[in-house]
Structure 1
């Protein structure tokens, strides 16, 4: 951290993205055309993958988004439990891996990080070309990639946080494309006001203050609540 910015190693980034791609991927469809050899699932769109990765790398922004869901969901208490698990700990500082803000928001070049996954046959990349320009990047995972991801989670307890967090981010973004996720993230002023090519700043203290306000708010009647371990969908 010579420049004062925490950075993941290439191995850490590759593991995080493998877990994220296997969690967020969906089965190939007829619209995908030719499926790369061995591929069993795909994440469509670099923009979507970048936005999902942002929420993994910025726990305080994820907590803020969960509070948005809490306010929309008639005060489902299990959402505040999830938020508290993040903000009542040192996670926002210990787990944050800063990203730069580019034209379309949080961004980090992916080719170098994905290279070892592609080399080992865990991930494939393809492009949808429309009129001689790239219309969409696609990130495929293979059966071997899924096997490696599952094995890492089973045999390396230290990676459990990444497994849980990627699943939570995917549940939160269920059905949303990259543009929709980008718009949601731009609603946070600190994110939107970050100058281009600058690291997006944390919002930990603002998020903790908001959590305090929500805890003090009188509960409103709602449908039967779910537990903290239930899906968001």
Structure 2
């Protein structure tokens, strides 16, 4: 069932509330975080996402279903994933009210899609849901790694039980995991720069929807039907 994309409200352009951003971060860490090694020195850590860059790029795909659907179509055309793997996700992201209800656009800055999520990270750390560590003090390896703590995993599990609507975002994060380039922040960033609408957006402007183009592509590939 086709939809007409509606311009986002100011609240959506800011990524929603701090609590909404914090919830998305917990989902990303829970679903896409790498299990920590036995030698990890972060107490009660269960998963980690390496670098803020990767967290930002994952968040872009989580909150822009049209862009993620396009990446899944590319993975399918390249033979990297099967029709059965992507079809339910693409239909979920492109049909019905999903493109409007679940889209939280991001603005374009020097290094691509960007959203100030420090407030959400601070809240999560305050309530002992996450922890972060600097991987190196300086140089090319300087970055912060973000750890999901067991308390954070318990929180997201309880939220999923109480709020069935949250499962949409869990599925979205699962779909991101089908994109091979999502494994690292640098490769995810390069992948997003292949989208002409993304790269042509002026700094400070909202990255536009590509829903109409992506839905036409999905129809041509028979991944969705009229």
RMSD: 2.4
1:21 matched to 2:5 = no
Q: Tell me, which stretches of 5 or more residues in structure 1 are unaligned? A: 217-233
Residue matched to 1:215: 222
- 1:51 touches 1:106 (CA, 8 Å); kept in 2? yes
Residue matched to 2:91: 84
Spell out, residue by residue over 1:180-213, the C-alpha distance to the aligned partner (whole angstroms, 9 max, x if none): 1111111110001111121111100011111122
1:68 matched to 2:53 = no
Tell me the TM-score normalised to structure 2 length: 0.85
Partner of residue 123 from structure 1, selected from 130, 139, 143: 130
Pair 1:4–1:99, CA change in 2 (3 A): closer
- Tell which structure's C-alpha radius of gyration is larger: 1
Residue matched to 1:205: 212
Residue matched to 2:54: 48
1:8 matched to 2:16 = yes
- 1:58 touches 1:98 (CA, 8 Å); kept in 2? yes
The offset of 1:167, in angstroms, is 2.0
Pair 1:111–1:160, CA change in 2 (3 A): same
Tell me the TM-score normalised to structure 1 length: 0.83
After TM superposition, the runs of 4+ consecutive aligned structure 1 residues lying more than 2 A away are: 1-7, 27-30, 33-38, 74-77, 79-82, 129-134, 170-176
Structure-1 separation of matches of 2:48 and 2:80: 34
Secondary structure of the structure 2 residue equivalent to 1:129: coil
